[in-house]
Amino acid sequence: MRNAALILGIIGGLWGMLVGFFSYGYTVFVDMFGNDVGDLAHQVDNPQLIRVVSLIAPILAIAGGAMARSQNIAAGVLLIASAAGMYYAFGYGVFTMFPIAMCGIGGLFALMAIRPDPH
């Protein structure tokens, strides 16, 4: 289970980074060119939240995945916090369903791992 948490956390974090890059970039783009693009793009309600979660959530997921084999409780907490942050900031959609699900399931796997995986 710890190995599964490791893989799911790292892959979920990488997908979360991709979502974070585009979300952060979108908020900056609208800040810079918002008036020039008319009805094409509108700023989100809380751009600072999007920017902070775009940075923090993938880092939590990758760190949680990296420590899943040695510190499973801390890893599970980090992975679930990452999934919750992504869900809260980005919502559940076509681009966020995989990182949220991977981080959430990886967190549950890490928390359920009661003994080290056999080698």
Per-residue pLDDT tens digits for 89-113 = 999 999 999 999 999 999 999 999 9
Give residue-wise pLDDT tens across range 37-89.
Answer: 777 788 889 999 999 999 999 999 999 999 999 999 999 999 999 999 999 99
- Does any domain span residue 78? yes
- Does any domain span residue 118? no
pTM of the model: 0.91
Q: Which domain holds residue 101?
A: 2-112
- Does any domain span residue 119? no
Q: What pLDDT is stored for residue 53 in this prediction?
A: 97
* CA–CA distance, 105 with 9 (Å, rounded to integer): 9
**What total of structural domains would you count in the chain?**
1
- Does any domain span residue 117? no
Q: Which residues contact 7 (CB under 8 A, 6 or more apart)?
A: 65, 106
